[in-house]
Amino acid sequence: MVSAIASTYLMTRVPTSQWSIRLARRVAITDLLVLSWVVFGVQIAWLGLDSSAMGFSGSRGDIAVSYTLVSVVIILGWMVALELFDTREHRNLGVGTQEYRGVADATIRWFGIVAIVAFLFKVDLARGYILIAFPLGLMVLVFSRWMWRQWLGVQRRAGRFVSRVLLVGSTSSAITIARELKRNPEAGYRVMGACVPTGVTGGRLPDLEVPAWSGTTNALAVMRDLGADTVVITSADELGPDQVKQLSWGLNPGAEHLVVAPSLIDIGGPRIHTRPVAGLPLIHVETPKFEGRKLVAKRAFDLVVAGGLVLLLSPLLVAIATIVKFSSPGPVLFRQRRVGINGRPFEMLKFRSMVIDAEARLAELQAAQRDAGNAVMFKMKDDPRVTPIGRFIRRFSLDELPQLFNVLGGSMSLVGPRPPLPRETDVYDSHVHRRFLVKPGITGLWQVSGRSNLSWEDTVRLDLYYVENWSMTGDLVILWRTARAVARTEGAY
C-alpha cells in the first residue's frame, strides 16, 4: 500500500531542502528590488539628480562620498539584517506574524545602527533622506511579503511548496495534529501518513483520509516510501527517549527533518520559549496576561483610532442615520443588552437593520437555527426581519459603526471576542467563560475567519485563541483582515 500511495506524489514531489532555497532566493530578489526602489527613489526625490551631493563631511578632513554609495551601503546592510533575522526562513514564510515581526525588527535595528554610526563618526546625512527611507522601506517590504503570502497560500493549498509529513505517535494525538494541519494548509505541512502503536480500521485515521500503519519502529522506512521529508512526533507516550534519539539520528541532515509537537494547541508563538535545561529541551509556556502596559497601550490605541474614525466617518454616520430613519418605522439605533468583560452587561449600539418587532418574531424563526450550523448563536442567511436598507448596510457591516461609541465609552474594544447575548451565556460550557477575560470587540479573529459561516465550535476556538494570545501586532493584522473581509462581503448576513 505504501508504494501505491507514494507513486501519486513522487512525480511532483520536491524536497523541502530544495524548494525552501528556491523560495528564499525569490523573496530575497524581491526584497532587493523593493529596497533599491525605495532608497534610490527617496534619494532622487529628496536630493534630486545632483551627483555632486555629498554624504560625508567631518571636521578631520574633507572626506566626501556620494549619496549613491551611501544608498548602496544602506541597501546591502538592510538585506543582511533581513537575513540575520531569519525573515526568509521557510518556516516563517507564509504563516503567523513571526515573518512580519522579523522584518520590522531587522529594519529598526539597522536604522539604529545607521543612526549610531552617523552620530559617532559625525556623519552629516540628510535627515529627511533617512527618516523617509526607513519607514517607507518597512511599509513596502511588509506589503511585498504580504503579496508573497497570498501567492504562497494558493500554492500550498494546491500541494506545492509544502513539507510532506509523517505523523508518529498515539492515534488520538495523530488525529488532532492531522486535523489542525488540514484546517490550515497555508502552514505548509501536508500529512502523507501516520505510524500509530496499534492498527486502525481500514488502514486510515478515523474520519480522515490519512493512511495509517501499525507500529512506530518502522517510521523511517514508511516516511521514505511515502516520499515524505519530515517526521512529526505527535506524542511521546509510545516513544521513549532512546527511540526518539535513534529516529533523529536516522534522518539525513539537511534533507529530512524532525518536529516534536507538544500536547498544546491554540497557543501563540510569543508565549512559547524553548530553553535547554540540563540537556533537556524544555518548553516554557507563559501564562496569558490581562493587565499592565499591554492593556494601557490597547486602550490608548482604541481611543485614538475610534475617535479618529468617528471624526472621519461623521458624514457617513449622519447619512446612514437619515436613511434608516426615513426608510422604515422605528428608531435609528438598535440597542441590545450584551455581556462584556468579567461578565458585566452593557448596551451595544447598532444602526437598526430590522423591523421594529424583530425580537418578538425571533421565537418563530428558532426552528431554522439547526440549518445555520450554529447551535448557540442565531444566524439566518435570509432573515425575513431584515429591511431592504438593513440588508445593504449589513452586507458592508455599516450597521456596526455605532459601536465605535461603545469603544470610546470603554465597554468594547476595536478587536476582541464577539459580545454574546445573555441567553447565549446561559448555555455556555465552563471553559467558554474565558472569553470574558478581555473586552469584546467590534471585530475579532472569528469574524475574519468566516464570520457568520462558522460553526459554534470554531467560533469558540477562535475567540479563546485570541483571549490566550492577543497582542497589539495581532490586533493590527485582524483590523487589516477585517477591512479585506468587509470589502469582499465575506460571510456577512
Measure the CA–CA gap between 175 and 289, rounded to whole angstroms: 31
- Domain boundary assignment for the chain: 16-157, 162-263, 293-488
Buried b (16+ CB within 10 A) or exposed e, 305-340: ebeebbeeeeeebeebbeebeeebebeebbeeebbb
**What is the maximum span of the chain, computed from C-alpha positions, in angstroms?**
88
Rounded to an integer, what distance in angstroms lies between the CA atom of residue 42 and that of residue 71?
A: 10
Q: Tell me which H or E stretch contains 146.
A: helix 127-157
Cell numbers linked to 390:
438593513
Strands 257-260 and 272-277: unpaired
Report DSSP state, residue 354. B
Q: In angstroms, rounded to a whole number, what is the distance separating the alpha carbons of residues 305 and 311?
A: 10
| 3-state SS class at 194 | strand
Q: What is the pLDDT of residue 30?
A: 95
pLDDT digits (tens), the chain, 493 positions: 444 444 334 334 566 768 888 899 999 999 999 999 999 998 888 877 654 555 455 444 444 557 788 889 999 999 999 999 989 988 888 887 788 889 999 999 999 998 888 888 777 777 788 889 999 999 999 999 999 999 999 998 888 888 899 999 888 888 888 888 888 888 889 999 998 887 666 688 877 888 888 888 888 988 989 889 899 988 866 677 788 888 888 888 878 888 888 766 666 656 676 777 776 677 777 667 777 788 899 999 999 999 999 999 999 999 999 998 888 888 899 898 999 998 999 999 999 888 776 666 565 555 555 544 455 555 556 666 778 888 888 888 899 999 999 999 999 999 999 898 888 888 888 888 888 889 999 998 887 876 556 677 778 888 888 888 888 888 888 998 888 877 766 555 4
Q: What local confidence, expressed as pLDDT, does residue 298 receive?
A: 92
What is the rounded distance in angstroms from the CA atom of residue 400 to the CA atom of residue 348?
A: 10
Q: Report angle CA 111, 117, 123 to the nearest 5 degrees.
A: 110
pLDDT at site 377: 57
Of 256, 210, 215, give the one whose Cα is nearest residue 238. Answer: 215
Question: Distances in Å between the alpha carbon of 241 and those of 244, 245, 324?
Answer: 5, 6, 67
DSSP β-bridge partners for residue 441: 413
Identify whether the C-beta of residue 228 lies closer than 8 Å to the C-beta of residue 17.
Answer: no
| Region 162-263: CATH code | 3.40.50.720
C-alpha cell, 281: 529541551
Contact 169, 200 (CB under 8 A): no
Q: How many CA atoms lie within 13 A of 153 on its CB side?
A: 11
Q: Show the beta-strand stretches assigned E in 178-229.
A: 189-196, 212-214
In whole angstroms, what is the distance from residue 270 CA to residue 232 CA? Answer: 21
